[in-house]
A and B are shown apart, each in its own frame.
Chain A
Amino acid sequence: MKIQSFFLACAACCGLSITSAHAQLRVEITGAGANRLPIAIADFAGDRAITQGLTSVIRTDLDGSGMFRLIDGVGTLSDNPNPPFADLRQRGADAVAGGTTMASNNGRFETRVRLSDVIKQNTLDMQAYVHTGAQLRATAHRIADAIYEKLTGEPGVFSTRIAYVVKSTGRFELQIADADGANAQPALASREPIISPAWSPDGSKLAYVSFEAKKPIIYIHDLATAKRHVAANFKGSNSAPAWAPDGKRLAVVLTKEGGSQLFLVNADGSGVKRLASSSGIDTEPRFSPDGQFIYFTSDRGGSPQIYRIAATGGTVERITFDGSYNVTARPSPDGKSLAYIARNNGRFQLSLMDLATKQTQILTDSSKDESPSFAPNGRMILYATEIGGRGVLAAVSSDGRVKQKLSVQAADVREPAWGPLVK
């Protein structure tokens, strides 16, 4: 996948300015889903400078999801309600999207997209988008999201964003990029490490841990205003922020009362109260999507294992039993499974547990996996790993079939966090 070269070509032809000198994430996809739906994304009618950029991003999105098989060579199709169904069927397409882009007021464009069922020969969806030339990629992601949702019944995540930390010589940057790695922008730059970014449920803020004051302190950073405040700076270490689903509170790890222990704190930093107590380490809290439970890592049983406690406190239930190192629990968006990192024969690997049956599956064949993060539709899991001694981001589908790698040249990338669905 040549996301970067496409982006450069697109920027050149549409007059977009490349605002950042920071290297883009390069996306590489390997593997594919078992039952991919054959779909044709036709060339859209209208100004080629616009439509080529749109359809290229839509195709890359759908192809990269592993849910679709692209049927090429159908040529240009407008949003006309009668695409050549017989020809499309012969080419093996089950669905087709055609579109038309027209110049609108004030230098804007209007793009109409029709999604049709080739077998039933009817319209599945018809959408219109008004956008500027600079909103080309964003519009393409929205179109791909609509197609994805119509055909799979699940929301698409192509319009979502990811956060991650890039380490280069003497510099750490917390960056935000589109889910495909494009449009990377730094939100925070520091000479000291930044870890554990966590998106607020509405996607407007990031909580993270910064070491800029020579100790770990939790900040909450508003992305639209670039203003931030301290959420926890108590004596000792402050780390591992996790948002409650209502966005009003966070579970955090504080050492102010001795040892690394779980606390709840309001997002403005007030109302700190202890959630659990142990004589050892309790860390890496994460709320279940319904807000009822908090999953966390604890060595209370002698080795680091995953436990859960009611968000109101109370008894603690052990979740992992196999092996001597199971950490970094991340419940899936539907709450039914748990992604975590397990150590197997010295290799740290992304694993997935079905919470009802307790069956587990190792999803990767790498050995230094860290920090898993579910896509908001639960389909893919983004995580950090290492290739050739360099930190890269990778994503794997929750069935282990589709694999993607995202890397930045000459830098270490780590601590990914997939943002919520765009409302």
Chain B
Amino acid sequence: MRTLSPRTLTLLSATFLAFLLTACGSQPPAPEQNPSGVESRSPSVIETTPISPATTTPGEAIDPLSMKALRDPNSPLSKRSIYFDFDSYVVKDEYQSLLVAHSKFLAAHANMKMLIQGNADERGSREYNLALGQKRSDAIKKALSLLGISESQMESVSLGEEKPTCTEATEECWAQNRRGDILYSGEF
């Protein structure tokens, strides 16, 4: 009986994830019901549907460029966050090896897409902070395109100040929120 190699399985699962992404990504999640309007004073409301991330099982041997490497704590691919200085939109040199690892992964998986989410600290206007987060995700995208990754494989977006990992009003906390995060197909 013919069996599929782990490599083929990896590619297949990547294709499936990419398919899932295309299937769900382009349209907004449909309302679960057709609720009546606010005008009627009924409590009906549109509920958005969350997207659940892919899972992995620990303890197996992992191909350094495989999908599982994305979640292997020993792989540089599990490092997904790039931190920025205050009022800065420059990717620091210390992240070069991380970006190289991710560019190799993207090159090996032409059907995988990367979403880069930029973030900003909470001070000031939400929309202006959204634009500042975009400058950070754009900087990461540019660094990756300099490493040969096609623009079509990447999307840079911003979450502004809306998804802080740290919520205290301290400089230490703000620094953690001045960040870009890398997500792959199936994770967003």
A192 vs B138: C-alpha distance when bound (angstroms):
22
A11 CB to closest chain B CB, in angstroms? 12
Q: Does A139 count as interface, using CB distance less than 8 angstroms? A: no
Cα–Cα distance between A340 and B160 once the two chains are bound (Å) = 20
Q: Is B110 an interface residue (CB 8 A)?
A: no
Question: Which residues of B sit under 8 angstroms from A185, Cβ to Cβ?
Answer: 38, 41, 43, 45
A207 to B163, CA, bound (A): 21
Do A281 and B28 touch across chains, with their CB atoms under 8 A apart?
no
Q: Does A65 contact B (CB under 8 A)?
A: no
| Contacting pair A190 B44 (CB below 8 A) | no
Complex: A226 Cα to B38 Cα, angstroms: 7
Verify if B58 is at the interface (C-beta below 8 Å from A): no
* A26: interface (CB < 8 Å): no
Report Cα–Cα, A253/B131, bound state, in Å.
9
Which of the segments B46-54, B60-68, B170-178 contacts the partner chain? Answer: B46-54
Q: Say which residue of A193, A213, A343 sits within 8 Å of B29 (CB atoms).
A: A213
Minimum C-beta distance from A186 to chain B (A)? 4
Binds B, one of A54-62, A68-76, A215-223: A215-223
Q: Which residues of B contact A258 (CB under 8 A)?
A: 138
Q: For the complex, what is the distance from the CA of A259 to the CA of B134, rounded to whole Å?
A: 7
Given the interface pairs A236-B156, A327-B124, the reply to whether A190 lies near B48 with Cβ below 8 Å is yes
Contact A223-B39, Cβ < 8 Å, known A237-B158, A281-B128, A327-B124:
yes
Q: Given A236-B134, A260-B131, A327-B125, answer yes or no on A255-B41 (Cβ-Cβ < 8 Å).
A: no
Which parts of B95-150 form the interface with A (CB within 8 Å)? 115, 117, 123-128, 130-132, 134-135, 138
| CB 8 Å contact bits of A129-148 with B (1 = contact, 0 = none) | 00000000000000000000
B86 CB, min distance to chain A CBs, angstroms: 13
Contact A19 B135 (CB under 8 A): no
Task: Decide if A24 is an interface residue (CB 8 Å cutoff).
Answer: no
Asked if A212 is at the interface of the complex by the 8 Å CB criterion, the answer is yes
Q: How many interface residues does chain A have, given as a range?
A: 35 or more
B18: A residues at CB distance < 8 A: none
Q: For A187, what are the chain B residues with a Cβ–Cβ distance below 8 Å?
A: 38, 45-46
- Docked Cα-Cα span, A224 to B44, in Å, equals 11
Stretch at the interface among A28-36, A94-102, A227-235, A355-363: A227-235
Query: What are the residues of chain B within 8 A of A191 when measuring CB–CB?
Result: 48, 50
Chain B residues within an 8 Å CB radius of A224: 37-40
**Which A residues, 42 to 84, have Cβ-Cβ distances below 8 Å to chain B?**
none
The answer to whether residues A20 and B43 also contact, given A212-B28, A260-B131, A371-B126 and a CB cut-off of 8 A, is: yes
Interface pair B127/A328, CB less than 8 Å apart = yes
* Contact of A19 with B42 in the complex, beta carbons under 8 Å: yes
- Complex contacts, A157 vs chain B, CB 8 Å: none
Bound form: Cα–Cα A21–B188 in Å = 32
Known contacts A189-B48, A214-B117, A230-B28; is-contact A284 B125 (Cβ 8 Å): yes
One of A189, A239, A260, A327 near B45 (C-beta < 8 A):
A189
The answer, yes or no, to whether B159 is at the interface (CB within 8 Å) is: yes
Is A370 located at the chain interface by the 8 A CB criterion?
yes
Which A residues lie within 8 Å of B36 (CB)? 225-226
Pull 8 A–B residue pairs with CB atoms less than 8 Å apart, ordered by A.
A19-B42, A185-B43, A193-B162, A195-B127, A211-B162, A213-B28, A223-B37, A259-B135
Pick the 3 closest A-B CB pairs, nearest first.
A193-B162, A260-B131, A215-B157
8 more A-B residue pairs beyond the given contacts A183-B41, A214-B157, A230-B27, with a C-beta to C-beta distance below 8 A: A185-B41, A193-B159, A195-B126, A215-B159, A223-B38, A225-B36, A253-B131, A328-B127
Which residues of A come within 8 Å of B, CB atoms?
A: 19-21, 173, 176, 183, 185-193, 195-196, 210-217, 219, 221-228, 230, 233, 235-237, 239-240, 253, 255, 258-260, 281, 283-284, 297, 304, 325, 327-328, 341, 343, 348, 370-371, 389, 414-415
